[in-house]
Structure 1
Amino acid sequence: MVTVVVAAHDEAAVLGRTLRTLLADAEPGEFEVVVVANGCTDGTAAVARSVPGVLVRELPEPGKPAALNAGDAAVRGFPRIYLDADIALETAGARALAAAVTAPGILAAAPRRRLDTTGRPLLVRGYYAINGRHPAYRNALFGRGAIALSAAGRARFGAFPDVVADDLFLDGQFTEAEKREVPEVATVVATPRRTADLLRRLGRVRAGNASLRAADDRVRRARRTSWLVDVVLPRPWLLPAGVCYAGLTLLAATSARRPAVRDGWGRDESTRAPAPAEADGATGAAP
C-alpha cells in the first residue's frame, strides 16, 4: 500500500482533480489517502469526502506543517508521498515514486518538474526561462509538489517544523546519494499568471527559505550568482531573460524584509482560479 498525505487549505477548486488523477487507475486497496483540510473557508473537506476511500481530517487553523503532522498521525503506511493539493500526479507516477524509495540506499524521491508558462506575461516567462534551467533544482526535492519517502527516510526527522519551506526542509534531511529524481515522472507546475503574483510568491518563499537556512545548517545554501554563471553565460541568448530574473529576484529580496510578506500566506492564488480557456484550472504553484 502506498500512503498519500495531502495538506489542503481552501483548495476546493483543484483538489477534486488532484484526487481523481491520483486514483484513476488504482487497484482496490492500493492507495491510502488522507486529506487534511486546514483552516478552510470553502468546500475543501466536502470535495475530499466525495472521493471514495479518501480519509479526511479537519483542523480549525490554517498551517501546512500542522496539517502534514496531522496527516502523518492518521496513517501508518509506507512508502509515503506528500502531495500538494494542486498537483495532478497520475497513478502510474505515484507508483514510480513509491518504487524509487524501495531501491537500496534511496530514502527520498521526487518527480522532475515541468513549468507551465502558457499565456504568462513576458516578465514571468523571462523569470522562468532562467529558473527552469537553474542547477539548484537538479536532484532536489523542492519545487515539484510531490515527495516520496521510505519508512527509513521518514524516520530521519520527527514532526514537521513550523516553517514555510517544507520541501526545502525535507531536501536538507538527505544527502545527494539518498535522493533520486525520477525522470519518467513529471509534475506540471503552473507559474503565476501575473507579475505581481510572482513577486508576492517570490518574496514569501525567499523569506521562508532564509529563515530555514538560518536555523538548519543541513539545508542547501543558495548560490546567488548561479543564474548568471551556470545558466546565462553558457547561453548568451538568455541574457534578456536573465535581466528579468535578476530584477525580479532583487525586488523579491527587498519585499522579503517586510513583516507583511514574511507573515502572509504567500500562496499564488492566480493559479487556483481557472483561466478563461481552462476548465479545470492550473496544476501547481511555483516555488
Structure 2
Amino acid sequence: MVTETAGPAGGRPGPIASVVIPAHDEAAVIARTLAALARGVRPGTFEVVVVCNGCSDDTAAVARESAPLARVIEIAEPSKARAVEVGNLATSVFPRVHLDADVELTGQDVLRLVGAIEREGLLAAGPRRVQPTDGCAWTVRWYYGFWEQLPRVRTGLFGRGAFALSAEGQRRVSAQPTMLNDDLGVDEAFVDGEYRIVDQALVTVRPPRTLRDLVRRRVRVATGNAQATSLGVRTRGAVPLSDVGRTAARSPLLAAQLPVFIGVTLVARIGARRAVRAGDFTSWLRDESSRA
C-alpha cells in the first residue's frame, strides 16, 4: 500500500527523514510503536515503511489502521535482515531511522536524532535507552541495573532498537554481512566521532519480565556475538573484566547486583554453545513477556 503524505511542519516539501520498521508477528505492539512515532510531529514529517515479514497474525492490518499514511509491505520470508533490505529499497529519504517494532520512539525524538546527524555531520546517532522494569522479576531488574552501567553499554549503538543513519552511514551498514545481532554490526561500523548517543532523545525498550525470558534473550545475544566474532565484524570483543570490576566498585548496590549479572552471562554463554556448534545463527529465541 502506497499513499501520499502531507507536507511536514515548516513548509519543507516532502518528508525530512524515513523510518524503516521490520515487524514479525508484532500485532500486540505495532500500534503502540506507530502511535509514539506520530507523537509531536505533523503527518508527513517522516516517510514510514513497515515491512511485515513472515507474519502469522494481523500485524499488517493493525499497522495500516494505526498509521494510514505509512507504507505497509508484506513479505513471506520471516527474516529481519530481508525486511530491512526491502524497507531500504522502498525509500530513498535520508537521514534514515531504523526502528524495532517493539520499542517506542516519539516523533520529536526522531527529530532530535535527525537534527544531530544534519548539524554535526554524523554518520549515525542513537537515542538514550530507557528500560522500565516495573513488573519484572528482581533478577531481571538487578541484571539490567548492572548492565546499564557498563561503559560500552552506555556509549554503544547496540541494544537500543533504534538508530538513525546518514546516507553514508547506511551505505556502510549495508556493506556489513548479515548477522543475528544486526545492531552489533551497526555499532561496529563506526568509530568514535562518527556517531553519538543523543541524550535528549529517549527510546523505551521493554525488558523481559521473567528470568527465563531474560536468559533466552541473552542466549540469542551471546550466539550473535560469537557469529560476529567468527565473521571478523566484532573487533571490540567482550566487555573487559576491568570494566566489570570498576562498575561493581562504584556502589554497594552495583556490587550486590554483580553476581546476578555474572550468573546470567555465564548461563547465556553456555546456552549459546549448542547453537554455535550447529552453526544456527537464525533462531531468534524471542521473549514474549516484554510484549505482554
**TM-score between both structures, scaled by the size of structure 2:** 0.88
* Residue 179 (structure 2) pairs with residue 163 (structure 1): yes
Match of 1:146 in 2: 162
Alignment deviations for residues 136-188 of structure 1 (CA, whole Å, 9 cap, x no partner):
12321111111000112112243563211111101111111101110011112
Secondary structure (helix, strand or coil) at the match of 2:113 reads: helix
- Residues 160 and 67 of structure 1, relative CA distance in 2, 3 Å threshold: farther
Inter-partner Cα distance in structure 2 for 1:269 and 1:226: 34
- Residues 88 and 237 of structure 1, relative CA distance in 2, 3 Å threshold: closer
| Counterpart pick for 1:203 among 219, 222, 225 | 219
Inter-partner Cα distance in structure 2 for 1:193 and 1:15: 19
Secondary structure (helix, strand or coil) at the match of 1:230 reads: helix
Match of 1:272 in 2: 291
Inter-partner Cα distance in structure 2 for 1:220 and 1:67: 27
Equivalent pair of 1:14/1:272 in contact (CA under 8 Å)? yes
1:179-190 superposed matches below 5 A: 179-190=195-206
Match of 2:4 in 1: none
Equivalent pair of 1:15/1:47 in contact (CA under 8 Å)? yes
Match of 2:229 in 1: 213
Inter-partner Cα distance in structure 2 for 1:45 and 1:55: 10
Secondary structure (helix, strand or coil) at the match of 2:131 reads: strand
Amino acid at match of 1:8: A
Equivalent pair of 1:135/1:230 in contact (CA under 8 Å)? no
Alignment deviations for residues 27-79 of structure 1 (CA, whole Å, 9 cap, x no partner):
24211000000010001111111121100111111111111000001011011
Amino acid at match of 2:164: A
| Counterpart pick for 2:40 among 25, 29, 54 | 25
Q: Which has the higher contact order (CA 8 A, sep 6+)?
A: 1
Amino acid at match of 1:59: I
Match of 2:103 in 1: 87
Alignment deviations for residues 82-106 of structure 1 (CA, whole Å, 9 cap, x no partner):
0010111111101111111113441
- Residues 153 and 138 of structure 1, relative CA distance in 2, 3 Å threshold: same
Ranges of 4+ aligned residues in structure 1 off by more than 3 Å = 157-161, 260-263
1:1-287 superposed matches below 5 A: 1-50=16-65, 51-158=67-174, 161-217=177-233, 219-226=235-242, 228-259=244-275, 262-273=281-292
Amino acid at match of 1:68: V
Equivalent pair of 1:81/1:146 in contact (CA under 8 Å)? yes
Identity of aligned residues (%): 44
Inter-partner Cα distance in structure 1 for 2:27 and 2:133: 23
Inter-partner Cα distance in structure 2 for 1:134 and 1:100: 24
Structure 1 stretches lacking a partner, 5+ long: 274-287
Structure 2 stretches lacking a partner, 5+ long: 1-15
- Residues 109 and 93 of structure 1, relative CA distance in 2, 3 Å threshold: same
Equivalent pair of 2:51/2:72 in contact (CA under 8 Å)? yes
Inter-partner Cα distance in structure 2 for 1:159 and 1:8: 22
Inter-partner Cα distance in structure 1 for 2:272 and 2:198: 32
Alignment deviations for residues 111-154 of structure 1 (CA, whole Å, 9 cap, x no partner):
01112111211211121111111111232111111100011211
User: In terms of mean alpha carbon deviation, does 153-162 or 241-250 score higher?
Assistant: 153-162
Inter-partner Cα distance in structure 2 for 1:79 and 1:105: 11
Amino acid at match of 2:290: T
- Residues 227 and 157 of structure 1, relative CA distance in 2, 3 Å threshold: closer
Equivalent pair of 1:65/1:161 in contact (CA under 8 Å)? no
Secondary structure (helix, strand or coil) at the match of 1:67 reads: helix
